Each structure stands twice: as structure tokens, then as C-alpha cells.
Amino acid sequence: MKQMTDYQNKKVLVLGLAKSGVSAAKLLHDLGALVTVNDGKPFSDNPEAQDLLALGIKVICGSHPIELLDEDFSLMVKNPGIPYTQPLVQKALEKQIPVITEVELAYQVAECPIIGITGTNGKTTTTTMIANILNQGMATGTARLSGNIGYPASGVAEIAEAKDILVMELSSFQLLGIKTFHPEIAVITNLFSAHLDYHGSREEYVKAKWHIQENMTNEDTLILNWRQAELRELAKTTKAQVLPFSSAEKVDGAYLEDQVLYFKGEAILAASELGVPGIHNIENALAAICVAKTRGIATEAIAQALTSFTGVAHRTQFVTKFNERRFFNDSKATNILATEMALGGFDHSKLILLAGGLDRGNSFDDLIPSLKDVKAIVLFGETKDKLADAAKKAGIPTILFTENTETAVPIAYDLSEPGDTILLSPANASWDQYKNFEIRGEKYMAAVRNLMATKA
């Protein structure tokens, strides 16, 4: 970590805890700042706040009093999920108090290079692929996962050494709060409409994502999905060197040709050798190859890492093969687009899909083209009837209902034959039955293990 005195005896307000807020508060405290933490959860139910208080950090919990800003704060570090319409944030901006997110703080203290990855889909998979490849091929140092992937960036930056690399997943929420943040390499996997309730419009959402390259120079590399016309247009406005990747055409970067992944004419590996299925994962791998080649990683190391990569938990994750059936967990598919992308990676004639979940009021007509030729579908949750309607329109011959993800597994197995794939890709949020998609995915995998025990 860089030695810095910028925050010595400066008053800083950390708004919102969770992992990133705790990490930011501890780092600022270590840097000599006079930290105040404000969190909406009551102190009695807030172990994170209790731990911070024990360190000597001032803690105010249970509400967000505007009077807090009567103090002379030099900075606010805002939890990324808190909108800018929140009264304390608005008041801070009115008082011209800088408002940043924790990734900006991480950049300020990091003494090693940063690779930043953002986009609508594929961020976590691409980030993990990149770290795996770099760790396979780097002679010294460690590629450290950080950011939106579950490891607070400021905490990782604090322990990282100069020989390391921070491989940082970045959300649009985090990127709105940067000032000087400057990755040496940045990736935008793709852009689709998302989080419009937070950003207000697609234009504002895209603008937030584009912040990743705001401070990059012509010595830096910006890796973009060339299949998207929007990114090709945006590429004209950056100072960074643009390195494209595409699954649809040959480009001066990474591309797919005749089912082989190439980088500037050099074959890296066959698509069939990639450890995870689907065109979306081919694109994730192409982006990762661009990063690896920019960092000088050998082709052999890249191919080895991508071949052995079996996915990130709950994201088209290969679970197991049992009695010649393959099981995949794509519980992270909480919307139609994510399930469409997952379905693109499988032979539909040998696919049994498990889907359903929270009813947000939308129809599933957009999913119909992607459901065609699917062998069977097992449905559960609030949206099961709507999904059944889409499945009928798609011509799926076998449509069954069940209670939940766990009960769907043995039903799907009984429908299957050797050579088939059973895929959980719900196309819905989990909150009608599960606290989050992770729990839903864990329940699915537990049901698969139970199936194996009973059928052995």
C-alpha cells in the first residue's frame, strides 16, 4: 500500500456499511482519518458497526440524520447501492463535499497495476478468467480478485504488493463514484439495459459504465466487445488504445473463427476445449485473452487456464456428470437475457430446463425463440404459469410443474436419458422462495447430490 498522509486528521463520513463500507472505514482509520460511519441498521443488530466502534471509529446507526453534515467533513465515501437522491448524499453535494465510492479509495492507495472489468453481463466470469490466466502465467506476484466480485477493493489494495495486479470487477454504481481512478487495462464485456430504476435511463447507465476509461491515456488499453455497434461508436471518444474482441467477425484483437479462438492470427484454443459452454462464455474468454496478451502471458498458459476453468458459482457452473447426464447451475440467470445466453450454449434436443421464480409483471414472449426445440421444461415459483405459456408457444413437448428448485431435480432426472443436460437457468429473481440466487443455486446442487446418493 502507498504511504500517504492525505487523510491525516481529515473528517470523513462513510455512508452505508456492508463489506465495502467496513473496508473503507478501516482503511481510512489506518490512514489517520477521523472517521464517522452512518448506517441505517440499528446498532444492536449491526455487528459490523459494533466492530468498528471497538476500533475507536465513531458510529451512528438506525437513521441518517441530516444534521450529521453540520460537521466539517472533507469527504463522503458512499456505499455504491445508495442512490444519489438519498438526502444525505444530496446535502453533501450541495455543500460541495466530494462523494466517492470505495473503489476510488482503493486506487489512491494501490501500489500495483489495476485491471478493471465492467459490462452488463459476464463481469464476474471474465474477471475470474483473467485472474486465473494471469496466475497461471505470471512469473512473480499474484493477480488478486477485488471489487464487485465480493472482495472489497480497498481491503485488497491495502494488502497488495507492487508485484501484484488488482483484477477488479466494477459495477455502474461503483463507477459513478470515481474521480482519479485509472486502470492500466479496462474491459467492457457488453452493454444492455439494466439498473434503469437507479440510473433513470439507458443513456445514464451507459455513461456510468463509460466512466471506466475516463482517466485512461494512450499508454493504456481499453478492451471492447466489437460485436456491439454502441461500443464501436464510443471507442472513437477514448484516449486509450482500443483492443477489440468479437465472436462474429475477424478483428485486430481476439476473435472466433471456425470454432477456434484466435488473437491477432494466432490460434489460442478450440471453442470445444473451453471449460464452460455458450457463445457468451466464448466472448468472456476472448476478452480475457486480450488482457492476457496485453500483459505478455504465454499462449500455453492462457489455453491451460481456460481449458481448466469450469465456471463461477451459479453462472452456467458445471456441477457434475452422473449416469451420463450433465448438471449445470445457472441460478444467477435472474432475467430473460441471462437465460437466453445460457440456452445458447447447449444442444436443445438433449436439454431439460428448470426455470421460474419471482413475478415482476413481465411476460416471457421474448424467451420463446430461445426455447425452441428444448426437450422438456420443469417449472416452479410465481411465474410458472407464464413460463408454461411461453413454453407451449415454443413447442416444447413436455412441460411439468413442481414446488421448487429442489423438487425439480428428480423430476428432470426421470425425464432425462443418457447424454442429456439438466440446466437450472430460472430467468427470474429468487425472492419468491429464496433469499437470494446463491441460496437457490446451493439448494439445486444439494438436490443433485441427494439424487446421486439415492440413484447410486
119 is in an annotated binding site: yes
Q: Hey, which bits of 54-105 come out as E strands?
A: 58-61, 75-78, 99-100
* CA atoms of 145 and 124, how far apart (whole Å): 10
340 plus 325 within the same structural domain: yes
Q: Return the pLDDT at 196.
A: 87
Q: Is 311 annotated as a binding residue?
A: no
pTM of the model: 0.89
The whole-angstrom separation of Cα 230 and Cα 142 is 34
Task: Consult the annotation and say whether 123 binds a ligand.
Answer: yes
Q: How many domains does the chain have?
A: 3
Looking at the fold, whether 148 and 252 belong to one and the same domain comes out as yes
Contact assessment for residue 308 and residue 318, using Cβ atoms and an 8 Å cutoff? no
User: What residue numbers bound the domain in which 416 lies?
Assistant: 317-455
Q: Which of 413, 340, 349 is nearest to 370 (CA)?
A: 340
* 381 assigned to a ligand binding site: no
pLDDT at 354: 98
Strand bridging mode 11-15 / 34-39: parallel
125/242 same-domain check: yes
* Residue 140 belongs to some domain of the structure: yes
- Point out which residues pair with 58 in neighbouring strands: 36
250 and 264 both lie in a single domain:
yes
All three cell numbers of 218, joined, read: 494512450
Strand-pairing partners, residue 256, are 261
141: left (phi over 0), alpha (psi -120 to 50) or beta: left
108 shares a domain with 90: no
Q: Does 323 belong to an annotated binding site? A: no
DSSP codes joined into one string, 277-295: -SHHHHHHHHHHHHHHHHT
Q: Is 421 annotated as a binding residue?
A: no
- Tell me if 4 is assigned to some domain: no
Phi, psi of 421 (to 5 degrees): -120, 135
Short-list 43, 78, 49, 77, CA closest to 63: 43
- Residue 421 and residue 344 share a domain: yes
Structural domain ending residue among the three candidates 252, 283, 308: 308
CA atoms of 76 and 65, how far apart (whole Å): 14
The answer on whether 122 is annotated among ligand-binding residues is yes
Together in a domain, 17 and 108: no
- Per-residue pLDDT at 193: 83
pLDDT score of 195:
85
**From first to last of its 456 residues, what are the pLDDT tens digits of the chain?**
898 999 999 999 999 999 999 999 999 999 999 999 999 999 999 999 999 999 999 999 999 999 999 999 999 999 999 999 999 999 999 999 999 999 999 999 999 999 999 999 899 999 999 999 999 999 999 999 999 999 999 999 999 999 999 999 999 999 999 999 999 999 999 998 888 889 999 999 999 999 999 999 999 999 999 999 999 999 999 999 999 999 999 999 999 999 999 999 999 999 999 999 989 999 999 999 999 999 999 999 999 999 999 889 999 999 999 999 999 999 999 999 899 989 999 999 999 999 999 999 999 999 999 999 999 999 999 999 999 999 999 999 999 999 999 999 999 999 999 999 999 999 999 999 999 999 999 999 999 999 999 998
CA-CA distance, 131 to 166, in Å (whole number)? 9
292, three cell numbers: 492476457
Say whether 230 sits in a helix, a strand or coil.
Answer: helix
Set of cell numbers at residue 430: 429468487
